[in-house]
Structure 1
Amino acid sequence: MTATGQQPADLLIIGGGVNGAGIARDAAGRGLSVVLCEQNDLGSATSAASTKLIHGGLRYLEHYEFRLVREALEEREVLLALAPHIIRPMRFVLPHDTTMRPAWMLRIGLFLYDHLGGRKRLPGSHALDLRNHPAGRPLAERFRTAFEYSDCWVEDSRLVLLNAMDAAERGAAILTRTRCVEARREDGLWRAVLEDAATGARHTVRARALVNAAGPWVADVLNGRLGVNTRSAVRLVKGSHIVVPRLFEGDRAYIFQNDDRRIVFAIPYEGDFTLIGTTDVDYHGDPAAVSIDEAEIAYLCRVLSRCLATPVTPDSVVWTYSGVRPLYDDDTGDASAVTRDYVLDLDAGDGRAPLLSIFGGKITTFRRLAEQAVDTVQKALGRPAPRWTATAPLPGGDMPDADFDRFLERLCAESPWLPAGTARRWARTYGTRVRRLLDGARSPADLGPCVAGDVYDAELRYAVEHEYVHTGEDFLWRRSKLGLHLDAAGRDAVAARIAELRSPGAAAPARTLAGGRR
């Protein structure tokens, strides 16, 4: 344990979202000793409430954010190679609405989108004649032409997890359900009091530098727990999504223009569903209590009903989720036009222990943000080290040529007894680490009892022992989306088994402040 009177850590990170986890991974890989504390589960707030896309942000071109789009497009290629199990290419169809942006504008935007970021692996854009193309079948009859382009899909909450896992394996201490009660500068260091949410036990951590990656709570941490008056402003914007039964066949997603100049995605989701989002609404409440409201549901249904041949109604919604984006406040009036770029605010000098606060950002550029954040901290500490994360696969992503289909084919050949659906789900979820879950199994009996659906005891044991799972919600809604596929009895059975595995008498590993494998 790193405590008062013992060797201080190089870096204490507050916040276990994608930015905090990405910074922890990068810093640990550069040789810094790292402690990360997250008050809830990893990726349990904004980072698990995205539209699940690794994308350049086509609409940001309209706001002249060329640097952000270029960086995001470059990262799209990098991340696809680093995590081919949780990130995959997806084609998007943009119907041309003659009452909105003209076709020439869309063509120019897509030309820039194709060439701005050095696209290598993904196919480029082209026009579609919807009158004789399958992509036109679910659409309203008024659409005659569309444009198709490439972006990528990501399991966002698992992206957070994999960064945290890799950080831990490189020596970082990852403390979930641990709140930073307060932190103050003392004798050239940060002295922080951390509290275990389960037991209420408190301990002290000293660190040479502190990163505030608390997302929607970034200003609260600064002004409250750190006692520092922020020089930067954060604007909280709520984004909500709805999930409905599958609206159209095929693997293509759709991006629809609306008459308020916003765009709404409709994306194939979890096989049986369609994901629709997002909204942009200024938010002034508690980020932990965010939820969709009736007006947002009605808005999303109205946009889809305007664009599809079959209306979408609120009573078809089977699940919703909402998140609060902590955007850097650039005094923009419209919430949808606020920049998604990030700002790193360093408070250091005069012998003070460095404090770096993260404002804004988007999931696609988290790795670049982390690189710059660690560069900044290392410069302040006088501990330079080379960047490394652009070529290092995330856990499970070390597949030859980043070829997921070939990996899945080999997995099915190695374990022909494994049902095809389970093999694909596990390959997508765990990548090459599925072999650790299988642990030499030669038949379903070796996986232990089937708890619910295709969830075997071996998977739940792996999740508890290696993936920081504490509750059924952690597993059902963040490590997976099995909560959508299991009935109430199945969800209860999973939650009960996880509780058993985490009980004092079970052999689940204890958390550690020393870093390394859990």
Structure 2
Amino acid sequence: MAEAALTGGTDVYDLAIIGGGINGCGIARDAAGRGLKVFLCERGDLGGATSSASTKLLHGGLRYLEHYEFRLVREALEEREVLWGIAPHIVRPLRFVLPHVPQMRPRWMLRAGLFLYDHLGGRKALPGTSTVDFASSPIGEGLKPGLSVGFEYSDCWVEDNRLVVLNARDAERKGAQIVTRSACTAVRSDAQGWTLTVEGEGGARREIRAPVLVNAAGPWAGDVVRHLAGRSPKGRTRMVQGSHIVVRKLYQHDRCFIFQNGDGRIVFTIPYEQDFTLIGTTDRDYTGDLTQVRASEEEVSYLCRAASGYFARPVSEREVVWHYSGVRPLYDDGAGAAQAATRDYVLELDAAGGAPMLSIFGGKITTYRRLAEAVLDRIAPLYAPPQRAQITARRGWTGRAALPGGDFPMQGFDALRRELSEDYPFLAPREAERLARYYGTEAAAILGKASKPSDLGRHFGAGLTEAEIEHMRRNEWATTSEDILWRRSKLGLHLTREQVRDMDRYMGGLSQVA
């Protein structure tokens, strides 16, 4: 997709976007759906940095209430069910259990916070808070004996990289051009707008003209302003690293835990990929190379200690089967601790010389859609009246239209999974569930007329077939085994080293043919 698009010459668009994370792709979808001709370039894979290194949660941020960020929490709480409604395959409800620890926050404070959490965001489909007696509930199995009661509340899970890709796909369907593995190497401005030079991995170049530029480069947003555009950002960015570890399943039930720690941070444990438990995150300031972000030994040890503080059987560093890490470019509001820094987004519009550039700082995956709406609100006045009216008239459409594969009822996932199993009885139950979860109503298009496993081509392990790989390559901008095994899916957790090497060889062969 990317290389074919870089054919030389200069093309004119209504809007150019640098950055293919969740914010960039969400903006591209919204703008294309409002009739703008959109170009987006991403120097790596879609969602290849921060957007695929999240805790995978759509949540209001219970702890943000302590910092009085009521607007942010309300907006995020409202978005949980909106996103569940437009993507019920990759979004699902979760129940979280917050154990009460007398030495930390008092019980009345937890109850008050959860009461606000239940009522601040107009919750409709998600169940409210309840109390759990660990002594009489299976949820308490494995916890330390001193923990007697907890509070259970709702949030949602999301397949984060798939959310990015589905927004990009819908944007493309509506006319946007999405170009991956293609870096914006230079920009220049004049009274008519911007000219971007975009270079692909093979060295092919092209120039893009657009009257408005959106800088959605995430951790690199400041670099785009300073080094590419030659301007001075008004605000400051605070880089905060969040690392996660994955261990073998710690307990059998389906609840998540949110654990309070003595340093003021919180840590989640979440059932993950059927056989594992995800533990995170760390929240610490980061000053290193943004291309070399990895979970440190200190962070891995911290997460193990945090979980061990609540489970009767300690979690050891030796049990970690995978870890990942990302850096969130938060707006620097002067907070002392990294975990206290605001997760709200700030939009900085610079119209120097008549060439407007809007840069995004901060934000969280839960509110990406609302952020995109705010961006379109800010740039709409920059266009001529007819186009401005068109942009304004379609505000809010992204909260009503399903993302690809999500055109089924919000609570209809079980029915979709059963239908897939009935239509393709050769699928193992967990494989039918995975395909329904990743692709929703599009799963049948991948399986086609298959009546037996061999009809799907070569099998690489964990249910991954040539048919699915071809879908990711043709429709989801996947070009490497890492894209497929660790971003579009997490099947890398289930494959042996030899199977991973086999995938590397297979994808390498395909790239040579291409």
TM range (shorter): over 0.9
Equivalent AA in structure 2 for residue 377 of structure 1? I
Gap runs ≥5 in structure 1: 507-518
Summarize the Cα distance change of 1:397–1:267 in structure 2 as closer, same or farther, 3 Å threshold: same
Specify the alignment match of 2:338 in structure 1. 335
Specify the alignment match of 1:326 in structure 2. 329
Give 1:278 deviation, angstroms: 0.4
In 2: Cα distance, 1:6 partner to 1:98 partner: 65
* Structure 1 runs of 4+ with >4 Å offset: 1-7
Specify the alignment match of 2:363 in structure 1. 361
| Partner of residue 138 from structure 2, selected from 121, 134, 139 | 134
| Partner of residue 372 from structure 2, selected from 370, 373, 379 | 370
Equivalent AA in structure 1 for residue 47 of structure 2? G
Equivalent AA in structure 2 for residue 439 of structure 1? G
Specify the alignment match of 1:513 in structure 2. none
In 2: Cα distance, 1:4 partner to 1:376 partner: 31
In 1: Cα distance, 2:471 partner to 2:77 partner: 34
Q: Spell out, residue by residue over 1:99-137, the C-alpha distance to the aligned partner (whole angstroms, 9 max, x if none).
A: 000000000000000000000010000111111111111
| Partner of residue 441 from structure 1, selected from 450, 455, 477 | 450
In 1: Cα distance, 2:462 partner to 2:315 partner: 29
| Partner of residue 313 from structure 1, selected from 313, 316, 322 | 316
Query: Are the equivalent residues in 2 in contact too, given 1:464–1:498 (CA < 8 A)?
Result: no
Percent identity, please. Answer: 56
Which 10-residue stretch deviates more, 88-97 or 284-293? 284-293
In 1: Cα distance, 2:24 partner to 2:165 partner: 11
Specify the alignment match of 2:412 in structure 1. 403
Q: Spell out, residue by residue over 1:321-347, the C-alpha distance to the aligned partner (whole angstroms, 9 max, x if none).
A: 010000000111111100000001111
Specify the alignment match of 1:511 in structure 2. none
Equivalent AA in structure 1 for residue 226 of structure 2? N
Give 1:189 deviation, angstroms: 1.7
Specify the alignment match of 1:239 in structure 2. 242
Backbone CA RMSD of aligned residues: 1.5
In 1: Cα distance, 2:492 partner to 2:376 partner: 36
Equivalent AA in structure 2 for residue 148 of structure 1? E
Summarize the Cα distance change of 1:401–1:126 in structure 2 as closer, same or farther, 3 Å threshold: closer
Specify the alignment match of 2:298 in structure 1. 295
Query: Are the equivalent residues in 1 in contact too, given 2:7–2:205 (CA < 8 A)?
Result: no
Which 10-residue stretch deviates more, 372-381 or 318-327? 372-381
Summarize the Cα distance change of 1:6–1:315 in structure 2 as closer, same or farther, 3 Å threshold: closer
Give 1:419 deviation, angstroms: 2.1
| Partner of residue 100 from structure 1, selected from 88, 93, 104 | 104
For residue 497 of structure 1, give the secondary structure of its aligned residue in structure 2.
helix
In 2: Cα distance, 1:306 partner to 1:349 partner: 53
In 1: Cα distance, 2:367 partner to 2:262 partner: 29
Specify the alignment match of 1:53 in structure 2. 57
TM-score by length of 1: 0.95
Gap runs ≥5 in structure 2: none
TM-score by length of 2: 0.95
In 2: Cα distance, 1:247 partner to 1:4 partner: 54
For residue 400 of structure 1, give the secondary structure of its aligned residue in structure 2.
coil
Specify the alignment match of 1:461 in structure 2. 470
For residue 417 of structure 2, give the secondary structure of its aligned residue in structure 1.
helix
Give 1:270 deviation, angstroms: 0.7
In 1: Cα distance, 2:376 partner to 2:49 partner: 23
Give 1:30 deviation, angstroms: 0.5
Equivalent AA in structure 2 for residue 160 of structure 1? V
Q: Spell out, residue by residue over 1:386-433, the C-alpha distance to the aligned partner (whole angstroms, 9 max, x if none).
A: 221010111111113551111111111111222222211111111111
Please say if 1:143 is aligned against 2:150: no
| Partner of residue 154 from structure 1, selected from 145, 153, 158 | 158
In 2: Cα distance, 1:303 partner to 1:460 partner: 38
Give 1:6 deviation, angstroms: 5.2
Equivalent AA in structure 2 for residue 397 of structure 1? G
Specify the alignment match of 1:277 in structure 2. 280
In 2: Cα distance, 1:73 partner to 1:228 partner: 36
Specify the alignment match of 2:179 in structure 1. 175
Query: Are the equivalent residues in 1 in contact too, given 2:98–2:151 (CA < 8 A)?
Result: yes
Specify the alignment match of 2:509 in structure 1. 500
Summarize the Cα distance change of 1:6–1:218 in structure 2 as closer, same or farther, 3 Å threshold: closer
In 1: Cα distance, 2:350 partner to 2:28 partner: 19
Please say if 1:80 is aligned against 2:87: no
Query: Are the equivalent residues in 2 in contact too, given 1:452–1:494 (CA < 8 A)?
Result: no
Q: Spell out, residue by residue over 1:286-314, the C-alpha distance to the aligned partner (whole angstroms, 9 max, x if none).
A: 21111111111111111111111110111
Equivalent AA in structure 2 for residue 420 of structure 1? P
| Aligned ranges 1:342-353 → 2 under 5 Å | 342-348=345-351, 352-353=354-355
Specify the alignment match of 1:192 in structure 2. 196
Equivalent AA in structure 1 for residue 134 of structure 2? L
Query: Are the equivalent residues in 1 in contact too, given 2:128–2:154 (CA < 8 A)?
Result: yes
Give 1:2 deviation, angstroms: 9.2
Specify the alignment match of 2:67 in structure 1. 63
Specify the alignment match of 1:119 in structure 2. 123
Which 10-residue stretch deviates more, 3-12 or 378-387? 3-12
Specify the alignment match of 1:514 in structure 2. none
For residue 512 of structure 2, give the secondary structure of its aligned residue in structure 1.
coil
Equivalent AA in structure 2 for residue 341 of structure 1? D
In 2: Cα distance, 1:184 partner to 1:335 partner: 35
For residue 291 of structure 2, give the secondary structure of its aligned residue in structure 1.
helix
Summarize the Cα distance change of 1:320–1:2 in structure 2 as closer, same or farther, 3 Å threshold: closer
Give 1:349 deviation, angstroms: 6.6
| Partner of residue 381 from structure 1, selected from 378, 383, 400 | 383
Which 10-residue stretch deviates more, 390-399 or 437-446? 437-446
In 2: Cα distance, 1:30 partner to 1:498 partner: 37
For residue 298 of structure 1, give the secondary structure of its aligned residue in structure 2.
helix
Specify the alignment match of 1:205 in structure 2. 208
Specify the alignment match of 1:28 in structure 2. 32
Give 1:185 deviation, angstroms: 0.5
| Partner of residue 426 from structure 1, selected from 403, 420, 435 | 435
Give 1:380 deviation, angstroms: 1.6
Equivalent AA in structure 1 for residue 367 of structure 2? T
Give 1:59 deviation, angstroms: 0.4
Which 10-residue stretch deviates more, 436-445 or 327-336? 436-445
Query: Are the equivalent residues in 2 in contact too, given 1:141–1:309 (CA < 8 A)?
Result: yes
In 1: Cα distance, 2:248 partner to 2:461 partner: 22
Give 1:183 deviation, angstroms: 0.6
